[in-house]
């Protein structure tokens, strides 16, 4: 099974990057499924129904998220009813939506997906390791060998340890949240594909997708300032996975990093689209 997993899609620029680059990548890599982390699709923070529909319309089949998913309340009911979107599984009982789901492809093949939030330097939620280990043992996964984990976490140590803990139990452990693609794509000893961070889709000459000015101001003064999504050249970052359908073992993981100077998000461009 040939899968593309995109890192955090940030704002209008990120959505534009997906629209511009995805059709060609889909064709070249003959992809069976495209997944993306969508926690930043609306104005750089959170998701709205409109921006989510735009992402699905651009060819994304399934959306994971992270700590910013709660920003726009309109998404709460969507998280409840749309089985193509998940939020981190280790939020306490009562949080809207679900933390894992099964994506069924047109030909009937299935992909189980789990999303979790890390604990280190983040909100202390219930343990992601225990959450993951109980998920892989759950009866619903018995006949679904292809399993992907989006571990939305800050610390590289926590992410690497998650890869080790799930090696041989899932097809891939992929990190999101830091928005900077790491160079450690690898197949672990028991057949799990691993990457510490998928990177981001959006404006790379930015502070994680946001305009430098306000971020710099906050670093200088420590006074909270409103960030706004950056403008400029767009890029797309993620990973390509080739997974054995029968065993769930990864055969290949390769980073995907697309950039084209002719595709830019300008202040005046894409009028009428929300940030």
C-beta of 2 vs 228, nearer to Fe ion: 228
Looking at 4, 6, 8, 88, which residue binds Fe ion (CB under 5 A)?
Answer: 8
The answer to whether the Cα torsion of 117, 121, 127, 132 is positive or negative is positive
Paired strand residues for 259: 235
Strand partners, 110: 104
Q: Cβ of residue 127: shortest distance to Fe ion, in angstroms?
A: 18
Q: What is the closest distance, in whole angstroms, from the C-beta atom of residue 8 to Fe ion in the complex? A: 4
Mark the segment that binds Fe ion (CB under 5 A) among 32-40, 55-63, 156-164, 237-245: 32-40
Closer CB to Fe ion, residue 163 or residue 199? 199
Hey, which residues does 248 pair with through a beta bridge? Answer: none
Nearer to Fe ion (CB atom), residue 40 or residue 196? 40
Is position 177 an interface residue for Fe ion (rule: CB under 5 A)? yes
Residue 256 CB, nearest approach to Fe ion (Å)? 17
Nearer to Fe ion, 90 or 243 (CB): 90
- Between 11-28 and 49-57, two packed helices, what is the crossing angle to 10 degrees? 20
The distance of closest approach from Cβ of residue 145 to Fe ion in the complex, given in angstroms and rounded to an integer, is 29
Instruction: Write out the binding residues for Fe ion, residues 38-97 only, by CB under 5 A.
Output: 39-40, 66-67
Of residues 271, 241, 94, the one with CA closest to residue 173: 241
**Spatial distance between the Cα atoms of 50 and 47, rounded to a whole number of angstroms:** 8
Number of residues interacting with Fe ion: please give it, by CB under 5 A.
Answer: 6
H-type alpha helices, 58-177: 75-81, 128-136, 156-166
CA-CA distance, 195 to 213, in Å (whole number)? Answer: 31
Name the active-site residue from 68, 72, 177, 179.
68
Asked about 72 being catalytic, the answer comes back as no
**Residue placing its CB nearer to Fe ion in the complex, 106 or 224:** 224
Are the C-beta atoms of 15 and 21 separated by less than 8 Å? no
Where on the chain is the footprint of Fe ion (CB under 5 A)? 8, 39-40, 66-67, 177
Active site residues: 68
């Amino acid at each position: 099974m040939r899968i593309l997993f995109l890192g955090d899609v940030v704002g209008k620029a990120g959505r534009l990057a997906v629209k511009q680059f995805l059709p060609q990548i889909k064709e070249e890599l003959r992809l069976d499924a495209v997944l993306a982390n969508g926690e930043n699709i609306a104005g750089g923070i959170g998701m709205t129904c409109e921006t989510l529909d735009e992402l699905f319309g651009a060819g994304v089949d399934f959306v994971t998220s992270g700590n910013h998913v709660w920003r726009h309340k309109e998404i709460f009911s969507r998280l409840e009813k749309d089985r193509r979107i998940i939020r981190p599984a280790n939020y306490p009982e009562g949080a809207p939506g679900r933390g894992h789901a099964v994506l069924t492809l047109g030909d009937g093949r299935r992909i189980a997906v789990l999303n979790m939030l890390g604990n280190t330097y983040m909100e202390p939620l219930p343990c992601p390791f225990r959450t993951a280990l109980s998920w892989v043992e759950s009866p619903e996964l018995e006949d679904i060998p292809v399993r992907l984990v989006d571990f939305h976490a800050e610390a590289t140590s926590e992410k690497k340890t998650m890869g080790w803990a799930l090696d041989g139990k899932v097809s891939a452990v992929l990190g999101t949240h830091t928005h900077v693609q790491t160079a450690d794509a690898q197949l672990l000893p028991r057949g799990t594909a691993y990457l510490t961070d998928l990177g981001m889709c959006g404006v790379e000459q930015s502070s994680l997708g946001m305009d430098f000015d306000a971020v710099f101001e906050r670093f200088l003064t420590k006074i909270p300032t409103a960030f706004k999504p950056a403008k400029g050249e767009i890029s797309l970052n993620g990973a390509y996975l080739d997974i054995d359908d029968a065993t769930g073992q990864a055969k290949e993981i390769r980073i995907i990093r697309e950039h084209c100077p002719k595709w830019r998000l300008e202040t005046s461009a894409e009028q009428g689209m929300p940030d």
